[in-house]
């Protein structure tokens, strides 16, 4: 029922899609170097904004940056090695485009679901199902 309502709303609001897309802004990562570790201070804000699990984003950052990472007791991400803010921001950008934004309608109203054993991106706004970006 709720899903149908969202579909109706999405159709009603079709002319606004471009405007809504341009308004989806992800916070810039706040980076602090701590010895040989790069701390992402606002990791929780990123996860909240992207509506993804901590572990999903952390795993992606580890793969993108080719390093080990962990989440500390304050919810910050700790990446082993020194990474510039721009590098981390680029990885978050990639994640947003490949794992959050719907490639069909450009909205971030998506979920990662299991389809025949593979993770796919399902859009709650337009119903599209697409592969995850890399
Ligand atoms: Zn969509």
pLDDT digits (tens, 9 = 90+) for 19-57: 554 568 999 999 999 999 999 999 999 999 999 999 999
Q: How far is the CA of 113 from the centre of ligand 1 (A)?
A: 14
- Residues of the chain under the 70 pLDDT cut: 1-23, 134
Q: How far is the CA of 90 from the centre of ligand 1 (A)?
A: 23
Q: Give the right CATH number for 25-100 from 1.10.1380.10, 3.30.30.170, 1.10.620.20, 3.40.50.11900.
A: 3.30.30.170
54-65 vs 85-99: helix crossing angle, rounded to 10? 120
28 and 21 Cβ atoms separated by less than 8 Å: no
* Two structure tokens written together for 109: 């109203």
Sheet holding 77-80, edge to edge: 31-34, 37-40, 77-80, 69-71
| pLDDT confidence of residue 21 | 47
The residue to which tokens 């308004």 are assigned: 23
Q: How far is the CA of 107 from the centre of ligand 1 (A)?
A: 6
* Two structure tokens written together for 1: 């029922």
Angle at 109 between CA 76 and CA 1, to 5 degrees: 125
- Whether this model's pTM surpasses 0.75: yes
| pLDDT confidence of residue 4 | 67
* Two structure tokens written together for 32: 């602090």
């Amino acid at each position: 029922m709720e899903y149908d309502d969202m579909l109706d709303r999405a159709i009603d609001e079709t002319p606004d899609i471009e405007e809504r897309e341009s308004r989806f802004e992800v916070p810039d990562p706040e980076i602090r170097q701590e010895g040989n570790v790069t701390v992402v201070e606002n990791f929780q804000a990123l996860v909240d904004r992207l509506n993804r699990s901590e572990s999903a984003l952390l795993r992606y950052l580890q793969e993108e940056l080719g390093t080990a990472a962990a989440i500390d007791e304050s919810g910050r991400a700790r990446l082993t090695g020194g990474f510039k803010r721009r590098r981390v921001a680029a990885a978050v950008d990639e994640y947003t485009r490949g794992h959050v934004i719907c490639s069909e309608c450009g909205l971030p109203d998506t979920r990662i679901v299991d389809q025949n054993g593979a993770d796919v991106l399902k859009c709650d706004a337009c119903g599209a199902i697409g592969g995850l970006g890399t």
